[in-house]
Amino acid sequence: MSQSVLFVCLGNICRSPLAEAALRQECADAGLNVIIDSAGTGDWHVGQPPDERAQAAAVRNGIDIGHLRARQVTAADFHDFDHIIALDNQNLRDLSAMRPAKADSKLSLLFDHVAGRAGEDVADPYYGEAAAFDQTWAEVTDAAATIRNWLAAD
């Protein structure tokens, strides 16, 4: 059975769609069959494509994420996904609070998968400059490489 990973940020239009795209590419390159999705803890952008600056950052790295649509995380996600990975500590707290009592998914922080950066937030680029989205891309691709490795070893 294939493994599954859900990335969660606040709006699901900036950080988590980029993390989804980065891990998709890593897994495709490695020939790994992994179900990958993303969602937001908030509902403000449900149904919307990723922020244009996130789309542009992905295109700069050869990936089109324009087809993605934001959705809000649900209780069912805690049963449907093996791994739920929060982009920052507030997302992690919000996910812990809504986690159903009997749910198998493993909850973690994205930077806990990057050596030397455990406990850190992926900074929210929403109110930043375009360059902030390139930094987000660099951070999520770092994590995606490590996550790909442990998925391959599982």
Q: Which of 53, 88, 124, 148 is catalytic?
A: 124
Q: Give catalytic status of residue 15 as yes or no.
A: yes
19 C-beta neighbours (distance < 10 Å), count = 29
14 binds ligand 4NP (CB under 6 A): yes
Question: For this structure, is 9 an active site residue?
Answer: yes
Instruction: Identify which range of 6-14, 27-35, 74-82, 139-147 contacts ligand 4NP by CB under 6 A.
Output: 6-14
* 124 in active site: yes
Q: Which amino acid is at 46?
A: V
Q: Is 22 in the site for ligand 4NP (CB under 6 A)?
A: no
Question: HSE (CB half, 13 Å, CA atoms) of 45?
Answer: 22
Angstrom distances, CA of residue 81 to CA of 52, 103, 107, 123, 124: 28, 10, 10, 24, 24
Residue 110 engages ligand 4NP in binding (rule: CB under 6 A) = no
68 binds ligand 4NP (CB under 6 A): no
Cβ contact 87:39 at 8 Å: no
Cβ atoms of residues 39 and 73 within 8 Å? yes
User: Is 84 an interacting residue with respect to ligand 4NP (CB under 6 A)?
Assistant: no
Report the C-alpha gap between 32 and 53 in whole angstroms: 29
99 binds ligand 4NP (CB under 6 A): no
For residue 52, give the nearest of 144, 140, 125 by alpha carbon.
Answer: 125
**Using CB under 6 A, which of 46, 126, 134, 141 touches ligand 4NP?**
126
Region near ligand 4NP per CB under 6 A, out of 38-46, 101-109, 113-121, 142-150: 38-46
Q: Is position 9 an interface residue for ligand 4NP (rule: CB under 6 A)?
A: yes
For ligand 4NP, the binding residues (CB under 6 A) are: 9-15, 40, 44-45, 124, 126
Give the residue numbers annotated as catalytic, written as ranges.
Answer: 9, 15, 124
